[in-house]
C-alpha cells in the first residue's frame, strides 16, 4: 500500500512539473520580462534594449533606468492617450451595463427552454471572429450613412471630403464606442446573468408584496444582490477595452489616440522597446488601481 | 410589452451588422445598397485567391494544433488542481503520517492556478508584447522558434486559460464516489482516469477544444505581434485588407466564418442540452 502511494505521489509531482514549467516559461517569464525591459536603456541593436545586468570588474551590476517613466510622465501625448483610453473603456463599461442589466434580468426570468435560446443568441455574436464583427460594423455604418439617417453622427470611415475632417474626431468617436459596446456586451452580460439568475424570484415577489415599486425593488433588492456580477462584468469589459487599439484604428481612422496604439507605435515604428514596456506597465497599474478602487468602494 | 420591445432592440443591435454582411455577400454588385441580383460570384472570386486560401490553411493548422495541445494541457492542469483541492480524494486512503507530505502540494498548485488564469487578467496587447519579448530573449539564448511555433505556443497559453476553467468546473461536478468505487475495486489511478473520469467529462473536453480553436481563429493582436515574414493568419490578413482597402470578396469570407461560428455554437448547444437531459434522466 505504501509503495503504491509513493508511486502515485511521485507521478503526481512529475505531472505538476510539466504544466508548471510551461506556465513559468510562457506566462511568468514574459510578464517579468516586460517589467525588466521597462527599466532598461534603449539601444540601437538587436534586441533594442540594454540588459540591466552587466558584469564589470568581476562585479555584477544592476543598472535601472527610470528615464522611460520620466519621459512618459512629462509627455502630454501619453497623458492624452491614457485619458482617452480610460474614458473610452469607462463609457463602454457603463453603456454595456445599461444595456446588459435589463437584458440579463429578462433572460433570467423566462422559462427554461426560451432562456437557453436567448443565452445562445447573446453568445453567438461573440463567437464570430472579432475582426469580422468590426468589418460588419464598418459596412453597417456605411449603409447608415448612405441613408443619411444618422448623417454626421456615424460618419467615420470612407470619408474623403476634407471639410468633414475637423469634425470627424468626435464623429468617429461615436462609431468606435458603438462597436466597442457591441464587442464587449457579452463580457458584461454573462457575469451579470449568472449573478441575477441566482436571485430567487421569491425575494422580488416579497418586495412587491411589501409595497415596493418596481424602481425601488430594483434599487433595494435586485441591484445589491447582483453587485458581484456588476463588478466582474466591469472588470471583464475595462481590462480588454483599455488595451484595445484595433477598433479605434479601423473606425476612428487612427485619429483617436489610445494606449494600445501608443504601445504598437513605440514597438514597431520607433523600435523603442523599453518605452513600449513602460507604457504597458503604467497601463496595467492604472487598470489595477482603478479596479481595486472600484472593488473597495462597491465590493464587500 | 415595452420590455419586449427593448429585448428585440438589443438583439437587433447584436445581429443587424451580421445579417447585413451575409446579405451583401450574395449581391452581384458586392454591395447591399446597389442591389442588382443574387449571385455567388464573390465566393468564386474568393476561392481563386491563393493568398486567402494559404492564410486560411495556416490559421486552421495553428488553431487545430493549439486547440489540441491546450485541451490536453488544460485537462492535466484542471485534473491536478481539482485533485489537490479535494482533500478526500485517493490521498485520503493513505496513512495519516503520509498526509503531511501531500499537504505540501497546494502552494505550487495555487501558483499554477493563478498562472494558468493570468492571460485572462490582462489585455491581449500585453500578452502579445510579453510573448514578443520572450521569444526575442529565447532566440538570443540560441533557442530560435519559428513563427508558426511561436504563434502555436502563444495560442496554447491563451487557450489554456479557458480550457482549464471549463474542465475544472466539469471535473468538480464529477461524482467522486464513482471514482472511489473504481479505486476500491482495484483500478489504478491512471486506469480510473482513462476508463471512468475521461468518458464522463468527454463533452466538456469537446467544448473546451472548440473554445480554444475559436480563440485561436479569433486572435488578431497576438498574431500581429508575433508574425514573421511569410504566411499570415486569416484574421491578420483580413485586418490588413480592412486597413488598406476592402474588396467585396471579404463579405463572402466573413459569411463563411460567420456560418462556421454559428454551426459551432449549435454543436455546443446540442452537446450541453444532451448533457442536461442526461443529468435529468439520471
Q: What is the pLDDT of residues A213-268, one digit of tens each?
A: 888 888 888 888 888 899 999 999 999 999 888 888 888 776 788 999 889 988 88
Share of chain B above pLDDT 90, in %: 28
Q: How far is A55 from chain B (nearest CA, A)?
A: 17
pLDDT at A5: 60
Residue of A nearest to B10 (CA): A99
Q: Angle A251-B49-B124 (CA atoms, 0-180°, nearest 5)?
A: 40
Distance CA B221, CA A247 (A): 11
Measured in degrees and rounded to the nearest 5, phi and psi for residue A110 equal -90, 175
Instruction: Report chain A residues whose CB lies below 8 A from the CB of B265.
Output: 120, 123-124, 127
C-alpha cell at B52: 486567402
Q: ipTM of the predicted structure?
A: 0.85
Q: Tell whether B211 lies on the interface with A, counting CB pairs under 8 A.
A: no
First-last CA distance in chain A: 47
For the full predicted model, state whether its pTM sits above 0.80: yes
Burial class of residue A26, CB neighbours in 10 A (0-12, 13-18, 19+) = buried
Q: pLDDT-based confidence at B159, cuts 50/70/90?
A: very high
Instruction: Report long-range pairs for B67-71 (Cβ below 8 Å, ≥24 apart).
Output: B67/B159, B67/B209, B67/B210, B67/B212, B67/B213, B67/B216, B68/B209, B69/B152, B69/B156, B70/B155, B70/B156, B70/B157, B70/B158, B70/B159, B70/B160, B70/B163, B70/B212, B71/B159, B71/B163, B71/B167, B71/B205, B71/B208, B71/B209, B71/B212
pLDDT at B278: 66
pLDDT at B25: 86
Closest CA relative to residue B154, chosen from B101, B256, B222: B222
Beta bridge partners of A53: A62
Neighbours of A75 (CB within 10 A): 13
Residue of B nearest to A35 (CA): B130
Q: Tell whether A52 lies on the interface with B, counting CB pairs under 8 A.
A: no
Q: Tell whether A299 lies on the interface with B, counting CB pairs under 8 A.
A: no
- Cβ pair B84, A8 in contact under 8 A: no
Instruction: Report chain A residues whose CB lies below 8 A from the CB of B108.
Output: 16, 20
Among the listed ranges A150-159, A230-239, A277-286, which one has the minimum average pLDDT value?
A: A150-159
Across the range B166-183, mean pLDDT stands at: 87
More confident residue, A29 or B94: A29
Q: How far is B6 from chain A (nearest CA, A)?
A: 8
A139 closest CB neighbour out of B24, B154, B189: B24
First-last CA distance in chain B: 39
Distance CA B74, CA B77 (A): 5
Beta bridge partners of A62: A53
Distance CA B201, CA B76 (A): 13
Across the range A91-97, mean pLDDT stands at: 95
C-alpha cell at A243: 488595451
More confident residue, A96 or A142: A96
Distances (CA, A) of A123 to A78, A272, B213: 35, 39, 16
pLDDT at B100: 45
Task: State the angle between helix axes of B234-243 and B50-85 in degrees (0 to 180), rounded to the nearest 10.
Answer: 130
Burial class of residue A175, CB neighbours in 10 A (0-12, 13-18, 19+) = buried
Tracing cell 505504501 back to the chain, one arrives at A2
Measured in degrees and rounded to the nearest 5, phi and psi for residue B48 equal -85, -10
Segment 76-105 of chain A within 8 Å of chain B by CB: 99, 102-103
DSSP label at B38? Answer: B
C-alpha cell at B51: 493568398
Q: Tell whether A19 lies on the interface with B, counting CB pairs under 8 A.
A: yes
Beta bridge partners of B120: none
Across the range B22-39, mean pLDDT stands at: 79
Neighbours of B8 (CB within 10 A): 10
Closest CA relative to residue B181, chosen from B165, B197, B201, B167: B197
Write the pLDDT tens digit of every residue in A164-198.
Answer: 443 333 457 888 899 999 999 999 999 999 999 88
Closest CA relative to residue A233, chosen from A187, A268, A166, A265: A187
Across the range A29-52, mean pLDDT stands at: 81
Q: Tell whether B187 lies on the interface with A, counting CB pairs under 8 A.
A: no
Q: How far is CA B162 from the centre of its chain?
A: 7
Q: Strand runs (DSSP E) across chain A, as ranges?
A: 53-56, 59-62
Q: Tell whether B242 lies on the interface with A, counting CB pairs under 8 A.
A: yes
B254 closest CB neighbour out of A136, A182, A242: A136
Question: Has residue A299 got a pLDDT over 70?
Answer: no
Helix (H) or strand (E) holding B199: helix B198-200
Instruction: Report chain B residues whose CB lies below 8 A from the CB of A23.
Output: 112, 115-116, 118, 157, 160
Answer yes or no: do A19 and B116 touch at CB < 8 A. Answer: yes
Across the range A43-69, mean pLDDT stands at: 74
Chain B contact probe: residue of A13, A27, A238 with most B CBs at under 10 A: A27
Q: Tell whether B122 lies on the interface with A, counting CB pairs under 8 A.
A: yes
A239 closest CB neighbour out of B123, B254, B261: B123
Question: Has residue A163 got a pLDDT over 50?
Answer: no
Please give the mean pLDDT across all residues of chain A: 82
Distance CA A227, CA A231 (A): 6
Distance CA B73, CA A18 (A): 9
Instruction: Report chain B residues whose CB lies below 8 A from the CB of A242.
Output: 123
More confident residue, A49 or B240: B240
Share of chain A above pLDDT 70, in %: 86
Distances (CA, A) of B113 to A103, B87, B106, B208, B220: 32, 17, 10, 17, 26
Answer yes or no: do B123 and A260 touch at CB < 8 A. Answer: yes
Closest CA relative to residue B153, chosen from A38, A130, A29: A29
Instruction: Report chain B residues whose CB lies below 8 A from the CB of A138.
Output: 242, 246
Strand A59-62 with A53-56, pairing: antiparallel
Q: How far is A74 from chain B (nearest CA, A)?
A: 23
Write the pLDDT tens digit of every residue in B197-207.
Answer: 888 898 889 98
Most confidently modeled of A60-69, A216-225, B85-94?
A216-225
Q: Tell whether A140 lies on the interface with B, counting CB pairs under 8 A.
A: yes
Answer yes or no: do B32 and A143 touch at CB < 8 A. Answer: yes
More confident residue, B87 or A113: A113
C-alpha cell at B61: 493548422
Q: How far is B183 from chain A (nearest CA, A)?
A: 12
Segment 151-180 of chain A within 8 Å of chain B by CB: none
Measured in degrees and rounded to the nearest 5, phi and psi for residue B27 equal -80, 140
Across the range A103-109, mean pLDDT stands at: 88
Answer yes or no: do B109 and A136 touch at CB < 8 A. Answer: no
Distance CA A78, CA A72 (A): 6
Q: Tell whether B134 lies on the interface with A, counting CB pairs under 8 A.
A: yes
Beta bridge partners of B27: B38
* CA quadruple A289, B107, B127, A187: dihedral, nearest 10: -60
Chain A contact probe: residue of B17, B119, B192 with most A CBs at under 10 A: B17
Write the pLDDT tens digit of every residue in B209-223.
Answer: 999 999 999 899 999
Answer yes or no: do A127 and B265 touch at CB < 8 A. Answer: yes
Across the range B76-89, mean pLDDT stands at: 71
Q: Angle B76-B78-B82 (CA atoms, 0-180°, nearest 5)?
A: 120
pLDDT at B64: 96
Question: Has residue B147 got a pLDDT over 80?
Answer: yes
Segment 21-60 of chain B within 8 Å of chain A by CB: 21, 24, 32-33
Across the range A9-38, mean pLDDT stands at: 86
Answer yes or no: do B131 and A30 touch at CB < 8 A. Answer: yes
- Cβ pair B164, B82 in contact under 8 A: no
Measured in degrees and rounded to the nearest 5, phi and psi for residue B174 equal -70, 130
Amino acid at each position: 500500500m505504501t509503495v503504491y502511494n509513493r508511486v502515485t505521489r511521485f507521478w503526481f509531482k512529475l505531472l505538476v512539473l510539466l504544466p508548471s514549467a510551461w506556465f513559468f516559461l510562457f506566462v511568468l517569464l514574459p510578464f517579468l520580462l516586460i517589467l525588466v525591459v521597462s527599466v532598461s536603456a534603449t539601444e540601437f541593436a538587436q534586441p533594442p534594449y540594454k540588459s540591466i545586468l552587466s558584469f564589470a570588474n568581476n562585479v555584477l551590476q544592476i543598472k535601472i533606468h527610470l528615464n522611460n517613466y520620466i519621459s512618459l510622465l512629462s509627455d502630454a501625448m501619453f497623458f492624452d492617450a491614457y485619458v482617452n483610453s480610460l474614458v473610452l473603456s469607462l463609457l463602454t463599461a457603463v453603456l454595456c451595463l445599461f444595456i446588459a442589466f435589463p437584458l440579463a434580468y429578462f433572460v433570467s426570468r423566462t422559462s427554461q427552454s426560451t432562456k437557453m435560446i436567448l443565452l445562445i443568441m447573446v453568445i453567438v455574436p461573440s463567437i464570430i471572429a472579432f475582426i469580422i464583427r468590426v468589418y460588419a460594423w464598418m459596412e453597417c455604418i456605411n449603409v447608415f450613412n448612405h441613408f443619411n439617417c444618422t448623417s454626421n453622427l456615424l460618419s467615420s470611415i470612407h470619408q474623403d471630403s476634407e471639410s468633414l475632417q475637423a469634425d470627424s474626431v468626435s464623429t468617429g468617436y461615436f462609431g468606435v464606442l458603438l462597436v466597442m459596446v457591441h464587442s464587449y456586451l457579452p463580457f458584461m452580460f454573462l457575469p451579470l446573468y449568472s449573478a441575477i439568475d441566482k436571485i430567487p424570484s421569491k425575494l422580488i415577489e416579497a418586495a412587491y408584496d411589501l409595497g415596493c415599486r418596481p424602481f425601488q425593488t430594483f434599487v433595494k433588492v435586485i441591484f445589491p444582490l447582483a453587485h458581484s456580477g456588476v463588478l466582474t462584468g466591469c472588470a471583464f469589459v475595462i481590462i480588454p477595452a483599455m488595451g484595445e487599439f484595433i477598433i479605434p484604428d479601423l473606425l476612428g481612422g487612427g485619429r483617436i489616440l489610445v494606449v494600445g496604439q501608443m504601445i504598437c507605435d513605440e514597438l514597431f515604428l520607433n523600435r523603442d522597446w523599453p518605452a513600449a514596456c513602460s507604457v504597458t506597465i503604467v497601463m496595467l497599474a492604472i487598470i489595477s488601481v482603478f479596479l481595486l478602487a472600484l472593488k473597495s468602494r462597491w465590493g464587500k | 410589452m415595452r420590455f419586449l420591445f427593448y429585448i428585440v432592440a438589443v438583439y437587433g443591435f447584436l445581429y443587424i451588422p451580421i445579417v447585413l454582411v451575409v446579405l451583401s455577400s450574395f449581391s452581384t454588385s458586392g454591395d447591399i445598397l446597389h442591389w442588382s441580383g443574387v449571385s455567388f460570384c464573390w465566393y468564386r472570386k474568393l476561392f481563386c485567391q491563393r493568398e486567402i486560401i494559404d492564410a486560411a490553411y495556416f490559421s486552421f493548422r495553428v488553431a487545430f494544433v493549439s486547440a489540441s495541445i491546450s485541451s490536453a494541457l488544460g485537462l492535466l492542469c484542471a485534473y491536478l488542481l481539482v485533485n489537490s483541492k479535494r482533500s478526500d480524494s485517493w490521498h485520503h486512503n493513505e496513512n495519516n503520517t503520509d498526509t503531511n507530505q501531500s499537504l505540501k502540494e497546494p502552494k505550487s498548485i495555487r501558483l499554477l492556478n493563478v498562472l494558468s488564469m493570468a492571460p485572462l487578467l490582462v489585455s491581449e496587447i500585453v500578452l502579445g508584447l510579453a510573448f514578443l519579448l520572450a521569444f526575442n530573449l529565447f532566440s538570443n539564448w540560441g533557442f530560435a522558434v519559428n513563427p508558426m511555433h511561436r504563434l502555436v505556443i502563444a495560442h496554447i497559453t491563451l487557450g489554456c486559460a479557458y480550457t482549464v476553467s471549463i474542465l475544472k468546473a466539469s471535473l468538480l461536478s464529477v461524482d467522486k464516489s464513482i471514482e472511489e468505487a473504481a479505486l476500491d475495486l482495484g483500478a489504478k489511478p491512471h486506469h480510473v482516469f482513462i476508463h471512468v473520469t475521461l468518458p464522463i467529462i468527454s463533452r466538456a473536453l469537446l467544448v473546451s477544444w472548440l473554445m480554444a480553436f475559436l480563440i485561436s481563429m479569433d486572435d488578431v493582436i497576438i498574431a500581429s505581434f508575433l508574425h514573421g515574414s511569410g504566411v499570415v493568419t486569416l484574421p491578420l490578413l483580413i485586418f490588413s485588407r480592412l486597413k488598406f482597402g476592402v474588396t467585396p470578396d471579404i463579405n463572402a469570407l466573413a459569411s463563411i466564418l460567420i456560418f462556421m461560428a454559428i454551426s459551432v455554437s449549435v454543436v455546443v448547444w446540442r452537446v450541453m442540452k444532451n448533457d442536461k437531459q442526461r443529468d435529468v434522466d439520471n
